[in-house]
């Protein structure tokens, strides 16, 4: 869409307000809402905001920033206000007043990696599988640790609020331009997954942020609470966000496919997988950013804690699905849906491209179930482990120059500072488990 088409559509659809949307470095959606009288100004990139109030953005003495909307992200929300008007949104890049890109903008950070791939002759495409839980609410509207069902993987449960909610989420997503491929119940009670079609990296990250907003909004309309917290319940599987990814060459062909190579995987594919494995420990603090993320990444719950790959089983960190040709791809199984999708895709792409440039080899695939292997056998096969907690993940991040460079100094410094503080608060807090375990014994 161009500027005139957006304004025409806005008037035809009775759009009264426009949300100019972006994310902070933690992935939290921020927005400035403007009335119809300011649409032209917004489309010209003239809307300013105070960056000093946004987590990890800038200091108070240099706070003014500009929002530059991406016209292709213009969408009219399918909900109608009581007066019959509607609200639209556009996703923005953040610039400094002098017109230069703001180094703390996560979307621009991903765009820099897209340009790095382009210099090598590639375009990244990615497709996420984001899982989430639906919880009941108490009489005050607060979430309870009580799910809406006791269903399991692919179960067809009796029609309830959860089934209806998931169906309505799909309807809204399709109204906003998504091509939804599947929606189903996941392994744990109250857990769901909705898969949408792959896209180029920046559009993929845009879609994830929109997806999370829609899920929460529709769940709220159904009297439920949706959460992308990685491990909300002890004793059941947590929520992941497996990311399928591949590189397309300048001819539009899948650069991961080579009909004559072993496993029909090209040198580019093997290098990319090798890069993901080499840097997985370094980027885990970005793809798995919460203290709670590492409650999911423990043995026994199908979580990919083992740094290995396979073209068959699902226990390693990277899996190569069976389809070949244009569908050839690797599935990175460690990220969770609490991550900032722009930064997560940026660091994974940087890791994969580093492997392509250095022609890394991931070694032979591990086709045995790693979950049942002894530690001795894992050592023999040189299967590494992901960090056990956020603190260890931050230590690994500090040591990985490729990941640090992908984030840039501004985001790296502010992200590290915020996450170190999060860990400090966590370890100083007395948790119910400790009270239950020790209060009566000592």
Are the CB atoms for 195 and 127 separated by under 8 Å?
yes
Identified catalytic residue from 331, 336, 396, 400: 331
Q: Residue 312: phi, psi to the nearest 5?
A: -135, -65
d(CA 297, CA 82): 45
Are the CB atoms for 402 and 354 separated by under 8 Å?
yes
Identified catalytic residue from 5, 40, 44, 50: 50
Residue 314: active-site member:
yes
Identified catalytic residue from 24, 75, 89, 131: 131
Residue 333: active-site member:
yes
Identified catalytic residue from 93, 186, 206, 400: 186
d(CA 438, CA 43): 60
Helix (H, G, I), strand (E, B) or coil at 233: coil
Give the other-Cβ count within 10 Å of 374's Cβ.
8
Are the CB atoms for 77 and 176 separated by under 8 Å?
yes
Q: What is the full DSSP assignment across 322-339? A: S--GGG--EEE----TTS
Alpha helices in 65-200 (DSSP H): 106-119, 161-175
Q: How far is residue 146 from each of residues 158, 226, 330, 354, measured CA to CA in Å?
A: 17, 12, 35, 44
Identified catalytic residue from 93, 333, 354, 396: 333
Residue 331: active-site member:
yes
Residue 193: active-site member:
yes
| Sign of the dihedral through C-alpha 353, 359, 360, 364 | positive
DSSP state letter for 230: S
Identified catalytic residue from 75, 148, 225, 242: 242
CB within 8 Å of 425: residues ≥ 6 apart: none
Identified catalytic residue from 14, 36, 222, 314: 314
Identified catalytic residue from 24, 193, 278, 311: 193
Cβ-based burial of 421 (10 A; exposed 0-12, middle 13-18, buried ≥19): exposed
Residue 192: active-site member:
no
Identified catalytic residue from 24, 129, 149, 258: 129
d(CA 406, CA 177): 30
Please list, residue by residue across 98-136, b when 16 or more beta carbons sit within 10 angstroms of its beta carbon and e when fewer do: eeebbbbbbbbbbbbbbebbeeeebbbbbbbbbbbbbbb
Long-range CB pairs of 265-269 (<8 Å, 24+ gap) are: 265/311, 265/320, 265/328, 267/359, 268/122, 268/356, 269/320, 269/328, 269/330
Residue 75: active-site member:
no
Kindly list the catalytic residues. 50, 129, 131, 186, 193, 242, 314, 331, 333
């Amino acid at each position: 869409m161009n500027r005139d088409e957006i304004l025409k559509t806005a008037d035809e659809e009775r759009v009264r307000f426009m949300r100019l949307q972006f994310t902070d470095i933690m992935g939290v959606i921020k927005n400035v809402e403007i009335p119809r009288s300011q649409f032209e100004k917004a489309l010209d990139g003239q809307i300013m905001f105070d960056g000093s109030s946004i987590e990890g953005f800038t200091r108070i003495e240099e706070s003014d920033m500009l929002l530059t909307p991406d016209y292709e992200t213009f969408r009219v929300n399918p909900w109608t206000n009581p007066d019959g008007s509607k609200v639209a949104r556009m996703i923005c890049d953040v610039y400094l007043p002098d017109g230069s890109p703001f180094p703390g903008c996560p979307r621009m950070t991903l765009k820099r990696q897209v340009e790095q791939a382009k210099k090598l002759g590639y375009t990244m495409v990615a497709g996420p599988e984001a899982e989430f839980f639906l919880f009941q609410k108490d009489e005050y509207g607060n979430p309870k640790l009580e799910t809406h069902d006791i269903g399991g993987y692919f179960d067809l449960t009796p029609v309830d609020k959860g089934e209806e909610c998931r169906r309505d989420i799909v309807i809204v997503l399709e109204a906003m331009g998504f091509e939804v491929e599947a929606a189903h119940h996941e392994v744990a009670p109250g857990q769901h997954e909705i898969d949408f079609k792959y896209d180029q990296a920046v559009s993929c990250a845009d879609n994830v942020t929109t997806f999370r907003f829609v899920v929460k909004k529709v769940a709220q309309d159904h009297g439920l609470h949706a959460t992308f917290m990685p491990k909300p319940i002890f004793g059941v599987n947590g929520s992941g966000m497996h990311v399928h990814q591949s590189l397309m060459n300048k001819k539009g062909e899948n650069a991961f496919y080579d009909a004559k190579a072993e496993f029909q995987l090209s040198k580019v594919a093997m290098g990319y997988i090798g890069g993901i494995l080499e840097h997985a420990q370094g980027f885990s603090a970005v793809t798995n950013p919460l203290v709670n993320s590492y409650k999911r990444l423990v043995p026994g719950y199908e979580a990919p804690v083992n740094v290995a790959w396979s073209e068959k089983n699902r226990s390693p960190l990277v899996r190569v699905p069976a389809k070949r040709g244009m569908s050839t791809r690797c599935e990175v199984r460690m990220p969770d849906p609490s991550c900032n999708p722009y930064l997560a895709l940026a660091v994974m792409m940087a890791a994969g491209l580093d492997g392509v440039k250095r022609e890394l080899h991931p070694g032979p695939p591990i086709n045995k179930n790693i979950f049942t292997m002894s530690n001795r056998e894992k050592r023999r096969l040189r299967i590494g482990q992901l960090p056990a907690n956020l603190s260890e993940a931050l230590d690994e991040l500090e040591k990985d120059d490729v990941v640090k460079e992908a984030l840039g100094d501004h985001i790296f410094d502010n992200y590290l500072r915020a996450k170190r503080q999060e860990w400090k608060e966590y370890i100083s807090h007395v948790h119910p488990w400790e009270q239950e375990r020790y209060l009566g014994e000592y």
